[in-house]
Amino acid sequence: MRNIWIIAKRELAAYFATPVAFVFIAIFVGLTGGFSFYIGRFFDRNQASMEGFFTYHPWLYLLLVPAVAMRLWAEERKSGTIEQLLTLPITTGEAVVGKFLAAWLFCGIALALTTPMWLTVNILGRPDNAAAAVGYFGSFLVAGAFLSVGICMSALTRNQIIAFIAGALVCFIFTMSGLDTVGNFLRGVAPEALVETLTSFSFLSRFDSLTRGVIDLRDLVFFASTMAFWLFAAVIAVDSRKAA
Amino acid sequence: MTVMVEVEHLTKSFGALQAVNGIDLAVHKGEVLGFLGPNGAGKTTTMRMIAGFLSPTTGTARVCGHDVVTDPTAVKKVIGYMPEGSPSYDDMRVGAFLKFIAEVRGFTGADRDARVMRVMQRVGLVEVMEKPIEILSKGYRRRVGLAQAIIHDPPVLILDEPTDGLDPNQKHQVRTLIHEMAAEKAIIISTHILEEVQAVCTRAVIIGQGRVLADGTADDLLARLPDHTAVCVVVPAEASASAAATFRALPGVAAVFETPAKGGRTRLRLTPREKAPLIEAVNAAVKANAVPVFEVYQDGGTLDDVFRLITAGPAVAA
């Protein structure tokens, strides 16, 4: 645990070592607000609710989260610091989890900076604050799931651009599989059981119930096991391709 | 002498490429082992395996009794390792980077800060401690690499090309540092600068194509040269023919090569028959025949010659 925290601290500081972190946070906060007002038609809905705000989070994460994750291992490989890091008395698992936690905390910071939106809704009306809190929690879980995919892709290459594109692509597949249009299309060509399996793996459908303020244990297990799976895959990727 | 590093029949293959092909080694406390070999011989791969970065295909290494295959973390704890080119997190400041390393190495609070300060003083980094590593010169970056390797005062040090790319002053500093630490530790350095072996190493191992080709002190290695006991005599040019005839008559001398030297002198190089010791016979002959000489010295070749003899075959060395 101690080692994980030391790694995470260093990684988190590394995010803020360049202005990129602040640009990223500004874009995220700006876009979440913009999306809920312009595309989510926040005022037209005439509801004191955060649902319209959360709806677009997975779509934003699709581009932004792989960007956060892409450097985590690809950069270590490219600059050769992976050799420095992995000859310190830590395990690969500790390094992967430490980096993951740093990136997740970073996303958490960005998410926390959107709370003025929540305050605004509270000034304008009486929203269900418990539901909003669950929505934030769900959004944080989706970010974590996307990150675990991104860190695994980053562990597979020394090129950050490739890590970004591969991460975004895999996340896109996991997101799209939850859309009704995609589900309906698949129903036409694939057996029902397969379609059900695919859609049940979607981050989107899991996230939807959370934005409505419903905490289902199955959703929590889904996100936890998704993250565990991709992080485990990342450990294997780092270990097997160290010198590549 | 305690054995600190034991390498047992280590092999590593990358697909079809056999990078390391059965290396056995033992390094004792107080030894500075120079790891020599042409580029691609397997030096870096071997060091990476001992340091626990790469896992061996077969074989193993034990460091201070810990097996690198079964307990890599214990091995990493007792090793200070500087990778080739000493890569470090470029966007970090020197002090912050060393603090991070010290924390991972298990030091906290005041102890950690004291260690960081001590190691920066030792290698000469105090003046740049607040600078980001990316703006440092090569010499400073190498010092950062050394500092992170010795911050926990490890019993075993593995340095991959510690002086590569440094200027002569910086090389001297690094070698002095290695000298200072040598008595207490087992140190392995890889290099292809052969003067370095004579300057800092107590023992040299030459590897080629993933195997140990030679193992011994610098003198042992020099003794491998066929004309290890060759002698040079510098005589006045007008006396060279008669002097050469005198030396050719000596029983141990295989051949005499004459080359003109500066100031109307001629250098005679006497090569031995089957490594026969020549210097005393030559001295006696000089006296007995009253040969006028300017210089008489043993000229057994250099480590460069040994290196070429061993790694490229006798045809090249001849």
Mean pLDDT over residues A214-243, rounded? 90
B106 touches chain A (CB under 8 A): yes
Tell me how many degrees the CA angle A93-A98-A104 measures, rounded to the nearest 5. Answer: 125
Q: Choose the closest CB to A14 out of B83, B91, B106.
A: B91
Cβ contact A91:A176 at 8 Å: no
B101 touches chain A (CB under 8 A): yes
CA dist A133 and A145 (Å) reads 19
**What is the model's pLDDT at position A48?**
67
Touching A: B residues 137-166, CB under 8 Å: 148
Contacts of A131 (CB under 8 A, 6+ apart): A49, A50, A212, A213
CA dist B303 and B222 (Å) reads 6
Cβ contact A62:A143 at 8 Å: no
Mean pLDDT over residues A8-24, rounded? 90
Q: Residue A4: its chain B contacts at CB < 8 A?
A: none
Strands (E), chain B: 3-14, 17-28, 32-36, 58-63, 66-67, 79-82, 156-160, 186-190, 203-208, 211-216, 231-236, 253-261, 265-272, 295-298
Mean pLDDT over residues A83-104, rounded? 95
Contacts of B104 (CB under 8 A, 6+ apart): A3, A6, A7, A88, A89, A90
**Residue B143 pLDDT > 80:** yes
Contacts of A239 (CB under 8 A, 6+ apart): A92
Give the distance from residue B57's alpha carbon to the nearest chain A alpha carbon, in angstroms: 12
**What is the model's pLDDT at position B125?**
92
Whole domain around residue A229: which residue ranges? 2-243
**Residue B315 pLDDT > 60:** no
Q: Residue A80: its chain B contacts at CB < 8 A?
A: 83-85, 87
Residue-wise pLDDT tens digits, B226-277: 888 888 888 888 888 888 888 888 888 888 888 888 888 888 888 888 777 8
| Residue B313, SS3 per DSSP | coil
Q: Residue A7: its chain B contacts at CB < 8 A?
A: 104
Other Cβ atoms less than 10 A from the Cβ of B269: the count is 16
Residue-wise pLDDT tens digits, A17-66: 888 889 989 999 998 888 877 776 777 776 767 777 888 888 889 989 99
Query: CB–CB of A243 and B54 under 8 A?
Result: yes
CA dist A52 and B172 (Å) reads 67
**pLDDT band, residue A243 (cuts 50/70/90):** low
Mean pLDDT over residues A122-150, rounded? 90
Higher per-residue confidence, B317 vs B283: B283
Query: CB–CB of A87 and B91 under 8 A?
Result: no
A13 touches chain B (CB under 8 A): yes
Question: How many domains does chain A divide into?
Answer: 1
Query: CB–CB of A88 and B87 under 8 A?
Result: no
Cβ contact B99:B130 at 8 Å: no
**pLDDT band, residue B318 (cuts 50/70/90):** very low
Q: Residue A243: its chain B contacts at CB < 8 A?
A: 14, 48, 53-54
Query: CB–CB of B48 and A243 under 8 A?
Result: yes
User: Closest chain B residue to A3 measured between Cα atoms?
Assistant: B104
A3 touches chain B (CB under 8 A): yes
Residue-wise pLDDT tens digits, A206-221: 888 887 778 888 889 9
User: Closest chain B residue to A17 measured between Cα atoms?
Assistant: B91
